Amino acid sequence: TCHAAIVSRELGVPCIVGTKDATEKLKTGVRYTIDCSKGSTGLVYDGDSNIERTSVDIDSVPKTETEIKLILGDPSIALSLSGLPVAGVGLVRQEFVVANHIGIHPNAVLDPEKVSPEARIIINEKSKNDESPKAFFIRRLSEGIGSIAAAFYPRPVIVRLGDFKSNEYRRLVGGEQFEPEEENPMIGLRGASRYLSPEFRGAFELECEALAHVRNKMGLTNVQLMVPFCRTAEGGKKVIKILKEHGLEKGKDGLKIWVMCELPSNVFAIDEFAEVFDGFSIGSNDLTQLVLGVDRDSGILAKLFDEDNTAVKAAISHAIKGAHRNGKEIGFCGQAPRWVVLSFRVSFIDSILPRAFLHTSFVL
């Protein structure tokens, strides 16, 4: 559930986190096999292990009542995955596109004079074929999102607005000049609060311009939007207002705007949020850490992070029932526990990694 694991899954690289003394016991130059196929517990074996490969005919994959959508953050693999019989893309991690295809902090392209000389050289080199660093940022982001949307067209592609934390934004070129050093970025300046802050309003408007270009100029109206870490319904209204000001009007040309249901406030004020947004996607990682008070990036507390905890189950149940009561779609963003799908009418599982698609289809 920590971001090191999430990034590794996105890249298809086996990753085990919270290993305590693994860096002391494992030796450089010695071959090991890492097994991440057993759920939440990773295993490490000496030497090379034989790997059994099983091929599945796509036509034999059963259709499920609960829609399955993919999670993507790498535009370069979108076309190769578009042949899977999925209902679309339920979560495009826009911040991954920024990190991997742009690499520059959005404020740095807006005000390059404030960054270090070294960072300025990188910015100028990357944007040398564009009218300006700002134009470079918008072009690259719209190309990245557009590539994913085009690959899956006309199936819906839900793009989550940028959700890096301040410590992650700091790692982008020029980021150190603009980002605060927060004690706990997980519950700091992120999501809707970040878009509305005076310091980063301009950065959010860059995202808006790129997304408006994808929908309104490229014609990829299958792109829908998702607002992450939205603490209050009033904050959601303000974000939607900014989106409208930049050509992304809720309801126009079929544009749906969703919200991540990942905070206790989203769960217990779900009726208020239902008046603002078109639907919900349960973010089980953040919801679990905030219900249990467990930092999901903490290896020390890893054993306490449990999506099957009674309190977490109660929160998820409340959210699903609230969405249904308001006639709103609700999906599950994560490796949905089987009890969620079997116990409730979840509209879709919208965050399945490509390699998990087959297993999930057969389980459902």
Active site residue 333: yes
Amino acid at 332: F
* CB 249, CB 255: distance < 8 Å: yes
Query: Whose structure tokens read 């000049």?
Result: 177
- Residue tagged active-site, from 3, 101, 246, 324: 3
Question: Which one-letter DSSP state was computed for residue 104?
Answer: B
The beta strand positions in 228-275, using DSSP E, are: 257-261
Choose among 122, 84, 130, 80: nearest CA to 103. Answer: 122
Residue 100 has phi, psi (to 5 degrees) of -90, -25
Q: Is 173 exposed, middle or buried (0-12, 13-18, 19+ CB in 10 A)?
A: buried
What SS3 state is found at 274?
A: helix
Active site residue 3: yes
**Among the residues of 127-200, which ranges form H helices?**
133-152, 166-169, 192-196
Task: Report CA 354 to chain centroid distance, whole Å.
Answer: 14
- Residue tagged active-site, from 246, 324, 333, 359: 333
Cite the active site residues: 3, 333
